[in-house]
Amino acid sequence: MPVFSTNDDVKIFYQDVGPKDALPLIMIHGFTGSSAVFLHNIHPLSQKHRVIAPDLRGHGESESRATGYHVSRLAMDLKNLIDHLELPHTGDIIAIGASLGAAVLWSYSELFTTAVFSHMVFVDQAPLQNYTADGDWGPSHGSRGCNSAATLAYLQATLNLSPGSAYQGIIDACLAYRSHPLPTDNVSAEKREGDSNFFLEVAMLGDASWRGKLMANHTALDWRASIRHNFATRSSTTKVLVIASERSGCFPTAGPLTVVDLINAGQEAPRRLATGVTISWGGHWCYWENPEKFNALVREFLNH
């Protein structure tokens, strides 16, 4: 894979597939993943786009340092990648952020505005993971797993002592046929084992302790006011698709779909830039479980 160095000298690997003169489409994976999780999406989408998929800092083949375990640092890495590739700053970039990848895009928008993006897709990520003490944000919206100091401490301890079991728990929560099984799933034992082995191999590439520090930052960040300000108040023109799964082991659908309300707040119908879709054909990692439907959903969004 190609590689570049960030402004703090960390090597970031990325995939770059498709015609170089096509509109760029950046795909940003989630916690414990890598660009490899988009195996079934990159080539189909590259038929009409230049698809760029980085391994986030501390994930996949990319390096990490003793510091840098903050969503804002990952957003700066994205800015460094856009500049390295000399992508247009004319509002023509498309971006897909899955889980943590969505938060990276929210942070980028806060730091640098949404001006370079024509379209954004946020996949199954609530704007706040933790539950709030006042009860305003709780089990109906926040994370099903990591949502408090106690659950974070448990995850960090497991990552330090038994990273494989921590990653297996994440895999079980992120695949719909594991978190919310249906009689109609028809998933073979070979497929189950293959998925587990694949995602576990990808996850084990990173430093588990560093990942625990990154999750501490990620799960505590409340993006609600930032999203409202950067996508609604600042008159962004970026069109947004929010995908929420009713079979997600990570979030109830109301969490991710709140992003639609935040972006469209106070806007009349012609000015509403965000659309929400609830799916049942996949879970948190729906792009892996049913790539044909995911790719078709993205294409339909980009064509309207």
For 6-57, write each residue's pLDDT tens digit: 999 999 999 999 999 999 999 999 999 999 999 999 999 999 999 999 999 9
Q: What is the predicted pLDDT for the residue at 233?
A: 76
Average pLDDT over the chain reads 96
- Biggest distance spanned by C-alpha atoms of the chain: 52
d(CA 121, CA 100): 12
Decide: residue 203, CB within 10 A, 0-12 exposed, 13-18 middle, 19+ buried.
buried
Neighbours of 100 (CB within 10 A): 22
Local confidence band at 138 (pLDDT 50, 70, 90 cut-offs): very high
d(CA 3, CA 230): 30
Tell me the chain's radius of gyration from C-alpha atoms: 18
Q: What is the predicted pLDDT for the residue at 158?
A: 98
Name residue 245's beta-bridge partners: 279
Return the SS3 of 90. coil
DSSP conformational letter for 132:
P
Local confidence band at 90 (pLDDT 50, 70, 90 cut-offs): confident
**Given the structure tokens 């640098």, which residue do they identify?**
112
Q: What is the predicted pLDDT for the residue at 245?
A: 98
Which structure tokens are listed for 135? 């009860």
Local confidence band at 270 (pLDDT 50, 70, 90 cut-offs): low
On the question of pLDDT at 269 being above 70, the answer is no
Q: What is the predicted pLDDT for the residue at 163?
A: 97
- Sheet hosting strand 11-17, strand order edge to edge: 3-5, 11-17, 49-54, 23-28, 93-98, 117-123, 239-245, 274-279
On the question of pLDDT at 94 being above 80, the answer is yes
**What's the average model confidence in pLDDT over 279-298?**
98
Cβ distance 218 to 71 under 8 Å? Answer: yes
Cβ distance 227 to 213 under 8 Å? Answer: no
Higher-scoring residue by pLDDT: 233, 200: 200
Q: What is the predicted pLDDT for the residue at 275?
A: 96
Q: What is the predicted pLDDT for the residue at 194?
A: 97
d(CA 301, CA 304): 6
On the question of pLDDT at 265 being above 90, the answer is no
**What's the average model confidence in pLDDT over 282-301?**
98
On the question of pLDDT at 169 being above 90, the answer is yes
Q: What is the predicted pLDDT for the residue at 271?
A: 74
- Predicted TM-score of the model (pTM): 0.97
Q: What is the predicted pLDDT for the residue at 268?
A: 72
Q: What is the predicted pLDDT for the residue at 294?
A: 98
